[in-house]
Amino acid sequence: MAIYGAMACHPQGVFSFPRAYITRVVFGFDSGAIITHSDGDFFITDGTNPIVHVVCNFKPNFWHYSSNGYSLDWIVKDWYLLLDPSPTPIPLSFNVDFQFYAPDKVWELFIHLDSWTVRYPVALPGTWLPHS
């Protein structure tokens, strides 16, 4: 069962896009965040308060490269807060944006809290076959 609070999507939750169009996911957090991940499961530690963690799990079908299309409201499986030492997940509200980032000339998925100061880009798995 998915665990997350309110999700706001831009342009809208039912907006669909081909997974092949994006090469990265960018997280918006405060300065000093420590992000570790394994195969679409992310563990983000607050840089100023090490007992605060955010967990973000993407659905496996989205994380791995494909030409399939997905809607913004479907790709995140879990998004919750953990406060050490408690193992109890606390649903957390967040934003999911499909956007063109002009400085790097790339389409990206931007996932962030309402308040953030630093962008943390993470490359998505690509194809092992060259495009012709």
Question: What CA–CA distance (Å, rounded) separates 72 from 58?
Answer: 11
Query: Would you say residue 87 lies in a domain?
Result: yes
Phi, psi of 72 (to 5 degrees): -60, -35
Domain count, the chain: 1
Distance of CA 97 to the CA centre of its chain: 10
Closest CA to 24 of 93, 116, 129, 126: 126
Q: Is the pLDDT higher at 4 or at 101? A: 101
Query: Would you say residue 130 lies in a domain?
Result: no
What is the tens place of the pLDDT at every residue in 26-35? Answer: 999 999 999 9
Predicted pLDDT of residue 3: 84
Query: Would you say residue 132 lies in a domain?
Result: no
Predicted pLDDT of residue 130: 54
Point out the least confidently predicted range of 86-95, 110-119, 123-132: 123-132
pTM across the whole model: 0.89
**In residues, how long is the chain?**
132
Query: Would you say residue 131 lies in a domain?
Result: no
| Residue 94 belongs to domain spanning | 3-10+18-123
User: Could you tell me what percent of the chain has a pLDDT over 90?
Assistant: 78
